[in-house]
């Protein structure tokens, strides 16, 4: 049996989790939302697109000007990081690009290198403390794990996902809608924040 009201409640709670807690995994946000709402998990779950739309609405309604300032700050930090990692031809992806920005939202950059170790060595050479992990990315319908480095640039949490160079021209698929992931190069980010 479908429960449209529960679906909407799940979407709004998942959106709040994404913005307030910085969770960028839609499936995890849905599971947490179902648990927090005391639902049994057998409801008709919202799509990732519905959750993203709810997150944008939540930010507009509840964060207002503070949310707009945080988004601008994160986009400025993303631009600075892209300039710093220019050798790896970075692209901004994810929530900061689409306009979602809570206090814990992480800036995600895709870097491109023949060897992930090149990024690792660059971070070590610049004496940047980081946590290393891996991130699942959908490439042409298949999920692959890619090396990921996380650290703070000032007060902005940053995530670098290292992909092979050939994926710069054929982006991974978005977890939101399954289409090629929206991305922005340095010039596009400059235009977003109104910097010449």
Residue 92 sits in a domain whose CATH number is 3.30.460
**Domain extent for 157:** 65-193
Residues 59 and 73 reside in one and the same domain = no
pLDDT tens digits for 138-172?
Answer: 998 899 999 999 999 888 999 999 999 999 988 89
Question: HSE on the CB side for 50, CA within 13 Å?
Answer: 16
pTM: 0.83
pLDDT band at 1 (very low <50, low <70, confident <90, very high): very low
Distance CA 190, CA 175 (A): 25
Verify that 98 and 124 share a domain, yes or no.
yes
What is the per-residue pLDDT for 144?
A: 94
Question: Same structural domain for residues 108 and 177?
Answer: yes
């Amino acid at each position: 049996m479908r429960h449209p009201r529960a679906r909407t409640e799940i979407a709004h709670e998942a959106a709040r989790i994404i913005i307030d807690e910085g969770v960028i995994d839609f499936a995890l946000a849905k599971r947490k939302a179902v648990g927090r709402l005391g639902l049994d998990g057998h409801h008709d779950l919202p799509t990732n697109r519905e959750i993203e739309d709810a997150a944008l609405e939540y930010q507009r309604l509840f964060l207002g000007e503070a949310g707009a300032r945080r988004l601008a700050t994160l986009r400025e930090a993303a631009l600075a990081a892209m300039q710093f990692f220019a050798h790896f031809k970075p692209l901004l992806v994810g929530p900061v690009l689409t306009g979602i920005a809570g206090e814990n939202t992480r800036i995600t950059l895709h870097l491109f290198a023949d060897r992930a170790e090149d990024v690792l060595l660059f971070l070590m050479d610049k004496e940047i403390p980081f946590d290393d992990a891996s991130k699942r990315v959908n490439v042409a319908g298949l999920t692959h794990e890619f090396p990921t480095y996380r650290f703070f640039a000032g007060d902005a949490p940053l995530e670098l996902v290292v992909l092979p160079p050939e994926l710069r021209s054929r982006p991974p698929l978005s977890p939101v809608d399954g289409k090629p992931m929206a991305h922005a190069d340095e010039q596009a980010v400059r235009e977003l924040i109104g910097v010449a």
